[in-house]
Structure 1
Amino acid sequence: MSRVYTSPRVLPLLILGFASGLPLALVSGTLQAWATVENVSLTEIGFLTLVGSAYTLKFLWAPLIDRYAPPFMGRRRGWILVTQLLLAASIAAMGLFSPSVNLTALALLAVWVAFLSATQDIAFDAYCTDVLQAQERAAGAAVKVMGYRLAMIVSGGLALVLADRWLGWSNTYFLMGVFMALCALVTLVSPEPQEQSRPPRSLSEAVVAPLADFFSRPGAWSILALIVLYKLGDAFAGALSTTFLIRAAGFTLSEVGTINKVFGLAATVVGALMGGAIMARLGLYRALMIFGILQAVSNLGYWLIAIETAPSMWLMGMVVGLENLCGGLGTAAFVALLMALCNRTYSATQFALLSALSAVGRTYLAGPLTPVLVESLGWPGFFICTVFIAVPGLLMLRCYRGLIQQLDA
């Protein structure tokens, strides 16, 4: 198993996954923390999550990525390089604004960063689907998830510590832009797929054929519903977790940055690698079910923090470690499911559609509704509620066990 992780097709996905994950926290959790410490209202912070709408809507322009390509570096890598360079400049530009003074301008720039990031994701996800061989899919998904989660630690937890103790918010965003530029160097040396799939002959084919191909399959609508529901409980639990730890649980910004994100690094790495190894033994369906249950139960750790009368660093460390471990497991299996569902000819559009659906809960349900649920149930009741929110996805997974097992055959 260790040999497949060092494959020239698998290993670069660690850094490319890092580049894919870096912008998300910068327009969500880290931006949320910045707004929180500058006393932006809870309602405004809740709606600030809508800047990530591009992650949900990216399927709308994914056919363009399938149909057209820059005249260099192949069908997928050219797009990856272009978006990485634009992201480097745009992330650095976010450091020129402040939530308390220029919230609207900063939010608009964050929308642009999210758009570029979503476009990078379209090309990168298609590249992973095209370049990985069948026996490398589980390891590739694990390495991709690990890189993605490492980036969220850097742009989430490390960024909070740097902003609080060393660099300030502006210079922290400048540094994140530099990290993105460095990732582009790996894109330059990453391999091309051994089998080059034929691009759609027209934009019309690029739009219509991927949908016709997917919806001609038995149970297509049920699979789409499963994708929306599978990580919904996690989406609600994480929507305002940073604000919860700072305002409600009483931890400092540096403590949240160190424990909530940086300390979770080891658990994330272990979770992603374990996910790839366990999937190879259990199969896709059993891995999705077991990891999904673990994801749901791990939300109860935040309930324990919420009922504590005084902040406990040990408790937060254990909760964050468990959440990151389970998150790494579940996301590795979920990414493998999405790759298995894609036709390589239309991998950009199909993966974008499927991954965008997975973001529906986080963007349009969890962000706006979490403040309402917290205000009506309180933080302890809210975190118990997130466990029940995860149940419908697990029930759907059980109902369509046969379809999932066919994908893994």
Structure 2
Amino acid sequence: MTHTRPADPPNLSAAPVSPTSPAATAPPRWIDTLKVYREPATLRMLSLGFSAGLPLLLVLGTLGFWLREAGIDRTTIGYLSWVGLAYAFKWVWSPLVDRLPIPLFTRLLGRRRSWLLLAQAGIMLGLFGMATSDPQLALDRVVWCALAVAFCSATQDIALDAFRIESANSERQAALAAAYQTGYRLAMIWAGAGVLWVAARAEVAPAAGAALYQAGAWQTAYLVMAASMLVGVVTVLVSKEPARLALPPTRNAAEWLRSVLVEPFADFVRRYRWQAVLILSLIAIYRISDVVMGIMANPFYVDMGYTKDEVAAVTKVFGVIMTLVGAFIGGVLSMRLGVMRVLMLGAVLSAGSNLLFAWLGSQGHNLQALVWVVSADNLAGGIASAAFIAYLSSLTNVNYSATQYALFSSMMLLLPKWLAGFSGKFVDAYGYSQFFTMTALLGVPVLLLVALASNIKTPPAQAE
């Protein structure tokens, strides 16, 4: 039996359309296309995207700032960045989130909403634990709480991806992805620049000769961040559970484990056969140019003489705004032109924008040039991300949406993150200009894979 995703609103309940197949009718008017951003499902995804984006920097970038101010050595801070690997390996427990009910809560709230609320509660408790700890006195506690936040955040991502995919038909996935990214990026501004702003204003004038580090200021900031998760909690409580799919009954534990752990991955290979290798290769390297280059972006700004205020204003605020604009454009273009065409456009722009950084390196301390380059880079990234999320969503079988999407989103980070670890060594040997040019060339194979994947037709998702 073939299942289609429930539509929102009901009169749009068309079967999923392959991103590679031509539309059967003329494209909708521009005004009708833009109205999708006012629909309830899209607005829900905006606030849920905020809930998803908030924890990331609080256990990675912002945490590093806090630890360094507390006097923790850089080597230790580097090791603690491995906390972020929870996001890359979330596919390991995604089958449980996809299928395992939570006693009482699943019956009251539904499968997706119950997992979302459980994960959000874990994030809030973890942030509270971090807020009530001082890394100078109890670093181990901070680390364990950060790990709990990362684990629960990755779990929230799994449930939220499934919630998004099941909340609307495939024609609206690009718009939902754009709204999700908008909320996500706004949360990153709040968790990046906002937490520093709160901590700075929570400081008290130090006594003469006293240390500048104030644990109480960070406590206040992280308590505010924990309270900010209520945005996602309230949204889940007022949202409707997506239409529940009837799952095939299982007779014993072995059969249940097979349906939960093996079948989601076997289903993907069964549907796409040898083309699964091509698709997985594309997923594995689509964002490689951005990820590898991004590791050396901040050291580059420092070496070029840009101040902290300049970098914060241009990259943390203005750059994020440009990413939001790119995500909006990517969502609209995907609905008008098709996902695969915009996926190709995003790949070209992402690789090309890295060449602008090579040019920026020849300009010295030029703030206007930094604004233009960061604008172009973030605009390209937003377009590429919106199309890529919509593409990943189109590949999933709605019967295994959480598991399959978690696998895809994990795969897109593993190789780039591993390769990015060598970026500093490359810069030391060859310089920034060669490095940025090399990262642009890494995008060439992506163009070939997108062209080949454009000929793949999405097969129907059959329930067992």
Q: Fold-level match, TM-score > 0.5?
A: yes
User: Once the 2 structures are TM-superposed, how far is the Cα of residue 291 of structure 1 from its aligned partner?
Assistant: 0.9
Deviations, residues 50-106 of structure 1 (Å, cap 9, x unaligned):
221111111110111112133231110111111112112212433445667766654
> Is the contact between residue 46 and residue 371 of structure 1 (CA under 8 Å) also seen in structure 2?
no
Q: Go from structure 1 to structure 2 and tell me whether the alpha carbon gap of 1:38 and 1:321 turns closer, same or farther (over 3 Å shift).
A: farther
C-alpha distance in 2, partners of 1:205/1:28?
A: 35
1:375 aligns with 2:428: yes
> Is the contact between residue 80 and residue 123 of structure 1 (CA under 8 Å) also seen in structure 2?
yes
C-alpha distance in 2, partners of 1:102/1:301?
A: 44
Q: Go from structure 1 to structure 2 and tell me whether the alpha carbon gap of 1:69 and 1:343 turns closer, same or farther (over 3 Å shift).
A: same
Q: Which residue of 2 aligns with 1:229?
A: 285
Task: Give 3-state SS (helix, strand or coil) of 2:223's partner.
Answer: helix
Q: Go from structure 1 to structure 2 and tell me whether the alpha carbon gap of 1:389 and 1:169 turns closer, same or farther (over 3 Å shift).
A: farther
User: Paired residue for 2:397, among 330, 343, 349?
Assistant: 343
User: Paired residue for 1:196, among 219, 240, 244?
Assistant: 244
C-alpha distance in 2, partners of 1:237/1:181?
A: 34
Greater CA drift, 163-172 or 175-184: 163-172
User: Paired residue for 1:81, among 109, 113, 117?
Assistant: 117
* TM-score between the two structures when normalised by the length of structure 1: 0.89
User: Once the 2 structures are TM-superposed, how far is the Cα of residue 172 of structure 1 from its aligned partner?
Assistant: 2.5
1:128 aligns with 2:164: yes
Q: Which amino acid aligns with 1:326?
A: A
1:357 aligns with 2:411: yes
Q: Which residue of 2 aligns with 1:292?
A: 347
User: Paired residue for 2:154, among 118, 129, 134?
Assistant: 118
Q: Which residue of 1 aligns with 2:233?
A: 184
Deviations, residues 306-360 of structure 1 (Å, cap 9, x unaligned):
44433x3323322222222111111110100111011111111111111111121
Q: Which amino acid aligns with 1:140?
A: L
Which protein has the bigger helix share? 1
C-alpha distance in 1, partners of 2:305/2:139?
A: 25
Deviations, residues 14-53 of structure 1 (Å, cap 9, x unaligned):
0001111111222233334445666766655554432211
> Is the contact between residue 91 and residue 174 of structure 1 (CA under 8 Å) also seen in structure 2?
yes
Between the two proteins, the alignment pairs up a number of residues equal to: 403
Q: Which residue of 2 aligns with 1:173?
A: 222
Q: Which amino acid aligns with 2:261?
A: V
> Is the contact between residue 130 and residue 141 of structure 2 (CA under 8 Å) also seen in structure 1?
no
Greater CA drift, 250-259 or 211-220: 250-259
C-alpha distance in 2, partners of 1:333/1:257?
A: 27
User: Once the 2 structures are TM-superposed, how far is the Cα of residue 220 of structure 1 from its aligned partner?
Assistant: 0.8
Q: Which amino acid aligns with 2:53?
A: G
Q: Go from structure 1 to structure 2 and tell me whether the alpha carbon gap of 1:382 and 1:30 turns closer, same or farther (over 3 Å shift).
A: farther
Q: Which residue of 1 aligns with 2:209?
A: none
> Is the contact between residue 234 and residue 390 of structure 1 (CA under 8 Å) also seen in structure 2?
no
C-alpha distance in 1, partners of 2:115/2:166?
A: 14
Q: Which amino acid aligns with 1:121?
A: D
User: Once the 2 structures are TM-superposed, how far is the Cα of residue 240 of structure 1 from its aligned partner?
Assistant: 4.2
> Is the contact between residue 123 and residue 148 of structure 2 (CA under 8 Å) also seen in structure 1?
no
CA RMSD of aligned residues (A): 2.6
C-alpha distance in 1, partners of 2:394/2:344?
A: 17
Task: Give 3-state SS (helix, strand or coil) of 2:41's partner.
Answer: coil
1:14-93 matches, within 5 Å, as 14-34=46-66, 46-70=78-102, 71=105, 72-93=108-129
Q: Which residue of 1 aligns with 2:22?
A: none
C-alpha distance in 2, partners of 1:283/1:62?
A: 29
> Is the contact between residue 292 and residue 417 of structure 2 (CA under 8 Å) also seen in structure 1?
no
1:180-329 matches, within 5 Å, as 180-193=229-242, 195-199=243-247, 201=249, 202-216=256-270, 217-218=272-273, 219-245=275-301, 247-310=302-365, 312-329=366-383
Deviations, residues 138-159 of structure 1 (Å, cap 9, x unaligned):
2111111221122222212333
User: Once the 2 structures are TM-superposed, how far is the Cα of residue 362 of structure 1 from its aligned partner?
Assistant: 4.6
User: Once the 2 structures are TM-superposed, how far is the Cα of residue 118 of structure 1 from its aligned partner?
Assistant: 0.6
C-alpha distance in 2, partners of 1:295/1:364?
A: 19
Task: Give 3-state SS (helix, strand or coil) of 2:352's partner.
Answer: helix
Deviations, residues 360-389 of structure 1 (Å, cap 9, x unaligned):
1354332x3233223323333322222122
> Is the contact between residue 260 and residue 316 of structure 1 (CA under 8 Å) also seen in structure 2?
no
> Is the contact between residue 275 and residue 333 of structure 1 (CA under 8 Å) also seen in structure 2?
yes
C-alpha distance in 2, partners of 1:325/1:228?
A: 22
User: Paired residue for 2:145, among 109, 129, 147?
Assistant: 109
1:3 aligns with 2:56: no
User: Paired residue for 2:130, among 74, 88, 94?
Assistant: 94
Q: Which amino acid aligns with 1:241?
A: A
Q: Which amino acid aligns with 1:252?
A: T
C-alpha distance in 2, partners of 1:395/1:107?
A: 42
> Is the contact between residue 341 and residue 407 of structure 1 (CA under 8 Å) also seen in structure 2?
no
Please identify the structure whose Cα radius of gyration is greater. 2
Q: Go from structure 1 to structure 2 and tell me whether the alpha carbon gap of 1:108 and 1:362 turns closer, same or farther (over 3 Å shift).
A: farther
C-alpha distance in 2, partners of 1:179/1:215?
A: 40
C-alpha distance in 2, partners of 1:243/1:303?
A: 14
> Is the contact between residue 122 and residue 148 of structure 2 (CA under 8 Å) also seen in structure 1?
no
* Identity %, equivalent residues: 38
Q: Go from structure 1 to structure 2 and tell me whether the alpha carbon gap of 1:348 and 1:200 turns closer, same or farther (over 3 Å shift).
A: farther
Task: Give 3-state SS (helix, strand or coil) of 1:9's partner.
Answer: helix
Task: Give 3-state SS (helix, strand or coil) of 1:10's partner.
Answer: helix
User: Paired residue for 2:176, among 110, 123, 140?
Assistant: 140
Q: Which amino acid aligns with 1:285?
A: M
> Is the contact between residue 248 and residue 306 of structure 1 (CA under 8 Å) also seen in structure 2?
no
C-alpha distance in 2, partners of 1:304/1:165?
A: 38
Q: Go from structure 1 to structure 2 and tell me whether the alpha carbon gap of 1:269 and 1:38 turns closer, same or farther (over 3 Å shift).
A: same
